Amino acid sequence: MPVDVYKAPVSAPCRAVLMNAKMIGLDVNKKHVILAGGELLMPEYIRMNPQLAVPTIDDYGVYLWESRAICAYLVNKYSPDSPLYPKDP
């Protein structure tokens, strides 16, 4: 089962997460969130992301919702040797 990425197409942080996943060769399940439709206020979404924002990921019950944290997490977990997020500054 791939990582679920809750995203809005107009969001630059969402696009950054998707580009990062593509760069490391990670298959993700894209879940479109209609921001004006109230989906962020659904109890299921609030449990994943109490800040009510996109992007959000669900990686087998691990929820993250800040794009830079998501990118670092995905690289560290799924492509630890990638130069996208080096271990040593």
**11 has catalytic annotation:** yes
- The catalytically annotated residue of 11, 67, 79, 82 is 11
Q: Which of 4, 8, 16, 1 is nearest to 32 (CA)?
A: 8
Contacts of 64 (CB under 8 A, 6+ apart): 56, 57, 70, 73
User: Any idea which residues carry the catalytic annotation?
Assistant: 11
